[in-house]
Amino acid sequence: MTNLSKWVFPIFPIFVLFSLLNPQISIGVSEISEISKEFLKIAKQDEVFDWMVGIRRRIHEYPELGYEEFITSKIIREELDKLGIRYKYPVAVTGVVGYIGSGEPPFVAVRADMDALPMQEMVEWEHKSKVPGKMHACGHDAHVTMLLGAARILKDHSHLLKGTVVLVFQPAEEGGGGAIQVVDSGILENVKAIFGLHVSPALPLGHVSSKSGTLLAGSGFFEAVITGKGGHAAIPQHSIDPILAASNVVVSLQQLVSREADPLDSQVVTVAKFQGGGAFNVIPDSVTIGGTFRAFTKESFMQLKQRIEEVIIGQATVQRCKATVEFSSKDKPFFPASINDDGLHKYFQTVAGEVLGPSNVKTMLPLMGSEDFSVYQEVIPGYFYFLGMKSESNKKPASVHSPFFEVNEDILPFGAAMHASLVANYFAEIQDSETQLNDKHHDEL
């Protein structure tokens, strides 16, 4: 008994032992909160931490683009098999959806994205990308690892889960609309809430930041072909110059935000693609431009879309050119703004404060970046937040989507513990709310 207490009691409070001996005892909000405080300690144990680091490095060495995450998916399934966690595969081509708990309602989900970016890694280290031109420059390798870490913790505590945790390993977040395919699959039909996170190089290690309401902008892509008449650069009067027309288009598009948008209604139009011509002395027949546009409201987003098309066609016409404009596609769909559920915001602050300490829970301003997690939030109450990884050893980390981006692996236990705590507590929250509702009905009767 002495040896047993040495190992059991620091991790499991006495009421947990009673619940194991008597399954009829209901574990409430305060009790599960106490248990979830231990999740970070568990995630920081050498065995668990080293296991997560190993997984993250395996994924990092073989980055895969959207809907091509076959190696990543195989690693996920191998680890779930080892943990004894059942799953469905394939979902959305390469995605995996796992299940922990009773197998019965209520269902609560947590999501990690899997895909990498078409970039050459410039960081020299033992486990750098082995695939030329591809890199995990946005931390998705860490996202997958942290969700697997949470899965390990939750599997060991599955007797405490009064419902089912749905683990969503999603492909193609980087513009491919993987979340759309997951939703269309119907696999999240009965889910009550969904949580997601993103690593942040700007936040200190172990800090989280988010806000209620609109967090990230809605985004869309556009591509235009401006066609003129090619000819010799020395006799431009015999040609119709599409490069000049495209240049005027780029300048005019910037005026949509500076002169047509309310300064208090944040919007962005960026032309990031300009292709045309292949010789110094030849005016080309056509030029292709493309870019992205972003806004926080659906009304502003659709107005911006309309005006982008009008400006491109109008400016091309002024320069005697023709233009065609395409928006979105199956490969690059529109994404709505990410809007955090108000009720989940209060809940998140409480749980994050218990796991990380109240002083490490920050409120942030909205960002113009976008996330296809917003697709889930349109059909399920959802909450998205940022998890910091800046430390003394990593004082000036490169931003995401940089070839010099590095993940501070010390972040892994924090993400695993946050995932596990948010979903474990949520069941108790639902149970407590239903109890209060029933008591109220009894009082009314």
Tell me where in the chain the CATH 3.40.630.10 domain(s) lie. 26-216+337-440
128-134 LR contacts (CB < 8 Å, sep 24+): 128/60, 128/61, 129/60, 129/61, 129/62, 129/63, 130/61, 130/62, 131/62, 131/63, 131/64, 134/63, 134/64, 134/65
Does the annotation list 140 as a binding residue? yes
Does the annotation list 442 as a binding residue? no
> Which residues pair with residue 287 across a beta bridge?
226
Does the annotation list 198 as a binding residue? yes
Question: What is the structure's pLDDT at 238?
Answer: 97
Query: What architecture does CATH give domain 218-327?
Result: 2-Layer Sandwich (3.30)
Task: State the amino acid at position 437 in one-letter form.
Answer: L
Tell me where in the chain the CATH 3.30.70.360 domain(s) lie. 218-327
Query: What architecture does CATH give domain 26-216+337-440?
Result: 3-Layer(aba) Sandwich (3.40)
Does the annotation list 127 as a binding residue? no
Best CA proximity match to 66, nearest among 128, 134, 168: 134
pLDDT per position in the chain (445 positions), as tens?
Answer: 433 333 333 444 443 443 444 433 344 555 556 777 799 999 999 999 999 999 999 999 999 999 999 999 999 999 999 999 999 999 999 999 999 999 999 999 999 999 999 999 999 999 999 999 999 999 999 999 999 999 999 999 999 899 999 999 999 999 999 999 999 999 999 999 999 999 999 999 999 999 999 999 999 999 999 999 999 999 999 999 999 999 999 999 999 999 999 999 999 999 999 999 999 999 999 999 999 999 999 999 999 999 999 999 999 999 999 999 999 877 789 999 999 999 999 999 999 999 999 999 999 999 999 999 999 999 999 999 999 999 987 767 899 999 999 999 999 999 999 999 999 999 888 876 655 545 554 445 4
Question: What is the structure's pLDDT at 354?
Answer: 94
Question: What is the structure's pLDDT at 429?
Answer: 81
Task: State the amino acid at position 372 in one-letter form.
Answer: D
Helix (H) or strand (E) segment spanning residue 418 = helix 412-444
Separation in Å, CA 438 to CA 430, 434, 443, 444: 12, 6, 9, 10
Number of neighbours of residue 380 by Cβ within 10 angstroms: 19
- CB distance 312 to 323 below 8 Å: yes
Question: What is the structure's pLDDT at 160?
Answer: 87
Best CA proximity match to 209, nearest among 404, 10, 363, 346: 363
Residue 55: phi and psi, rounded to 5, are: -65, -45
Give just the sign of the alpha carbon dihedral 399, 405, 411, 417.
positive
